[in-house]
Amino acid sequence: MLVCTLGDLVLDVVVRPARPLVVGSDVPAETVVAPGGQAANVAAWVAALGGRARYVGKRAEDEAGGLAVAALADRGVEVVGPIADGATGIVVSLVTADGERTMVSSRGVAADLRGDELEPGWLACDHLHVSGYALTAEPSRSAVHAAVETARRQGARVSVDLSAATLIDAVGRARFRDLLERLAPDAVFCNEDEDRAVGGRLDGTTWILKRGPGGVSVDGSEHSAAQTREVVDATGAGDAFAAGWILGGVGLGLEAAAACVSRVGAFPAR
């Protein structure tokens, strides 16, 4: 199966303090710099789980972009899309002792992807997975619609990850839900906050509710999380689950998520 992902390719700076932060002072921390971005994460996990993966998105030809592209290629992901002047996005993720994370994001040039920059051959795939970040503003919002139409004409199924409740709130529930309904995805991935923010499931769409350590709900059917020794970092766990679900269903998705949370960073180990 060939899975295309559309969205951001960024550098993640993951910071796991050894103790609570102290305002105006310093605490020790484990820090990892690695490629990331929701679409890139899913593509990397698809490849790690044995599928074929292609990342589609706009990227900058700077040092950060070069590192991110090289990391995807090293994991067997094909990288396509326009290259632009500007900066690659950077996401800072603060991870607490129990593995929960809070993120601060700069999307860089990825937000500037236009529909007329997409080549049909890039979207010839079995499944197109879209990051909700790309739906938050123009021109990337129109690029998503163009990509979905092009992929569907070539026989692909489509999924969307809602990405963050704050993004839905910024766009507005009614507006974001309308955008989603017009895309008519075959599947939607979201967590409980995103589910509430968008107003619940869409008719005719497989609705996958990610509950973290509580497992997942697929159209109301509950599935327990896979066993893991320790939750080190939850960053990217939902993306790992999405990759596994697309390739092999709930079981593979839960196994991938468990592998992801057992180490720092969103990308799979080499």
User: pLDDT of the chain along its 270 residues, tens only?
Assistant: 999 999 998 888 888 888 888 999 999 988 888 888 899 999 999 999 999 999 999 999 899 889 899 999 999 999 999 999 999 988 888 877 777 778 787 888 999 999 999 999 999 999 999 999 999 999 999 999 999 999 999 999 999 999 999 999 999 999 999 999 999 999 999 999 999 999 999 999 999 999 988 999 999 999 999 887 688 878 789 999 999 999 999 999 999 999 999 987 778 987
Specify the pLDDT at position 215. Answer: 95
Dihedral angle, C-alpha 165, 189, 116, 139, nearest 10 °: 0
**12: number of CA atoms within 13 Å, CB side?**
28
pTM: 0.91
Domain ranges in the chain? 2-9+37-90+108-261
Instruction: Give the 3-state secondary structure of 191-221.
Output: EHHHHHHHCCCCCCCEEEEECHHHCEEECCE
Choose among 209, 235, 225: nearest CA to 101: 235
CATH for 2-9+37-90+108-261? 3.40.1190.20
Q: Count the residues in the chain.
A: 270
Distance CA 238, CA 233 (A): 12
- How far the first Cα of the chain sits from its last, in Å, is 21
Distance CA 252, CA 242 (A): 9
